[in-house]
Amino acid sequence: MSVLFLILGMYYSMQAERRKIDICIISDIHLGTRACHAAELNHYLRSIDPTILIINGDWLDIWNFGAGYFPQEHIENIFLVLDYARQGVPVYYLTGNHDDDMRHFSGYKFDTLQLRDEIVLHIDGKKHWIFHGDKYDLSVGGSARWLAKLGGRTYDTIFEANRLVNSVRRKYGKEDILISKYVRDKVKTIVKSNVQDFESVACEIGIEQGYDYIICGHIHKPQMRVVNSDKGSATYLNSGDWLENLTALEYANGAWDIFYYQHDLRFKGINRT
């Protein structure tokens, strides 16, 4: 009996240590790829107590399912999210380009989990437009879709090689290098050289429609900035990713914040903004 009380005490102690936040937004997790930091994300999700959880696209990397890679921590991540829903926390799963097959089921509900393409939230009197962002990115649609899929598979291969290189570098006391991030940024620069910047398009449309906040994922770059146009202004936010930046958007105490997960080996000295 004493052991049972000890276990229960530890459980409630862990629950009490969770940070309470109003809204948590994560995106670009890419479960099913080797680049995904699911273990770190699981640790983060266990450390917070959000009123609302939003997954803003590319939670599942369906494009990469043919590789047959889906380890235990990726499965645990799905169950963690489902546990939030079972506990009554509203969970919104917004579809992205890597899980766009899920758009056939938009509107589906499971407990408090809702599958959507986008949502609009009214928070403290402000209108928040939240969506992945790929529908305004011409580099992943139409004839460019096959190139984007090929790039995703190639990136996963490069990431695996990058991990081996860094394991050798650590043995000689050298810092990690992010070859995979460099390649991703270069490829995106080439692909997007002759297409519209989806952020500019999304912000222009958002301002015209009277949104105060425009919140996206997709490009894996955590951001928070005010965008001005001749029709008004809005705050643009991007939740980043769980491949390289390991970031989330958090809303608490009436303000948005970008949370950076501190990774021991690759993200030394990076703190919350």
Q: State the pLDDT at residue 4.
A: 47
Which residues, 6 or more positions from 161, have their beta carbon under 8 angstroms from its beta carbon? 179
Q: Is the pLDDT of residue 18 over 80?
A: yes
> Looking up tokens 């989990």, which residue turns up?
113
pLDDT one-digit tens code per residue, 171-200? 788 777 665 565 556 555 555 543 347 889
Look up residue 174 and give its DSSP letter: P
Q: Work out the average pLDDT over 104-112.
A: 93
Q: Work out the average pLDDT over 202-206.
A: 95
CA distance linking residue 95 with residue 54, whole number of Å? 11
**243, two tokens:** 């491949």
Least confident of 20-34, 66-80, 238-252, 253-267: 253-267
pLDDT one-digit tens code per residue, 114-173? 999 999 999 999 999 999 999 887 666 544 444 455 455 556 666 666 767 677 777 788
Q: State the pLDDT at residue 245.
A: 93
Q: Are 55 and 84 in contact (CB under 8 A)?
A: no
Q: Work out the average pLDDT over 60-88.
A: 95
Q: Which of left, alpha, beta for 116 (phi over 0: left; psi -120 to 50: alpha)?
A: beta
Reference 56, options 23, 27, 85, 24; nearest CA is 27
Q: State the pLDDT at residue 152.
A: 53
Burial of 109 (0-12, 13-18, 19+ CB in 10 A): exposed
Residue of higher predicted confidence among 177 and 105: 105
Pairing of strands 223-229, 213-216: unpaired
Residue of higher predicted confidence among 174 and 220: 220
19-260 belongs to CATH 3.30.70.1380: no
Q: Work out the average pLDDT over 10-29.
A: 79
> Structure pTM?
0.77
Q: Where are the domains of the chain?
A: 19-260
Q: Is the pLDDT of residue 8 over 50?
A: no
Q: Work out the average pLDDT over 251-273.
A: 68
CA atoms within 13 A on the CB side of 194: 1
pLDDT > 90 in the chain, percent: 60
CA distance linking residue 151 with residue 187, whole number of Å? 8
Burial of 79 (0-12, 13-18, 19+ CB in 10 A): exposed
Q: State the pLDDT at residue 16.
A: 53
Q: Are 223 and 256 in contact (CB under 8 A)?
A: no
Q: State the pLDDT at residue 139.
A: 63
pLDDT category of residue 268 using cuts at 50, 70 and 90: very low
CA distance linking residue 54 with residue 118, whole number of Å? 10
Q: What is the mean pLDDT of the chain?
A: 82
Q: Is the pLDDT of residue 93 over 90?
A: yes
Which residues, 6 or more positions from 273, have their beta carbon under 8 angstroms from its beta carbon? 224, 257, 258, 260
Q: Is the pLDDT of residue 273 over 90?
A: no
Q: State the pLDDT at residue 144.
A: 46
